[in-house]
């Protein structure tokens, strides 16, 4: 069974540029998460989807971040415009149910110059 797939693995951009990350969760997993991990810290939730509905986006900086999960499968996380402080690893995870074990992708490392 394929795991959570994320792309790109690495992205280097200049500040004020846009960037997008893509995630394909494990087949059949209804719940999808985007986490951000800063250097030396644990992952922090940005947004959680139940199917195509964003049920928890309280930690998403909505002025510059947006996310979507079309048809309740793949998801895209976008930052526009990027700031220096957005440099981090963006992790996508999925699970069978909301309150269960999360399966993580390898992450997308963003560097904003």
Partner 1 sequence: DQQVKQNSPSLSVQEGRISILNCDYTNSMFDYFLWYKKYPAEGPTFLISISSIKDKNEDGRFTVFLNKSAKHLSLHIVPSQPGDSAVYFCAAGGGGTSYGKLTFGQGTILTVHP
Residues that bind partner 1 (CB under 8 A): 4, 31, 33, 40-45, 48, 50, 55-56, 91, 93, 98-99, 101-107
Which two tokens mark 110? 């963003």
DSSP 3-state assignment of 94?
A: strand
Q: How far is the CB of 65 from partner 1 (least distance, A)?
A: 17
DSSP 3-state assignment of 52?
A: coil
Which two tokens mark 84? 């220096």
44 forms bridges with which residues in the sheet? 36
Q: How far is the CB of 84 from partner 1 (least distance, A)?
A: 22
Based on CB atoms, which residue is closest to partner 1, 17 or 109? 109
Cβ pair 62, 79 in contact under 8 A: no
Q: How far is the CB of 105 from partner 1 (least distance, A)?
A: 5
Based on CB atoms, which residue is closest to partner 1, 22 or 81? 22
Q: How far is the CB of 74 from partner 1 (least distance, A)?
A: 17
Measured CA to CA, the distance from residue 31 to residue 52 in angstroms comes to: 9
Based on CB atoms, which residue is closest to partner 1, 35 or 79? 35
Measured CA to CA, the distance from residue 31 to residue 99 in angstroms comes to: 9
Based on CB atoms, which residue is closest to partner 1, 82 or 94? 94
């Amino acid at each position: 069974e394929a795991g959570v797939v994320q792309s790109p693995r690495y992205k280097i951009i200049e500040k004020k540029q846009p960037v997008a990350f893509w995630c394909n969760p494990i087949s059949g997993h209804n719940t999808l998460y985007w986490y951000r991990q800063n250097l030396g810290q644990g992952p922090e939730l940005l947004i959680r989807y139940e199917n195509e509905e964003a049920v928890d986006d309280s930690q998403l900086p909505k002025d510059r971040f947006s996310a979507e999960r079309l048809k309740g499968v793949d998801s895209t996380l976008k930052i526009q415009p990027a700031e220096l402080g957005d440099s981090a690893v963006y992790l996508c995870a999925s699970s069978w149910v909301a309150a269960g074990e999360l399966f993580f992708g390898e992450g997308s490392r963003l560097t904003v110059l």
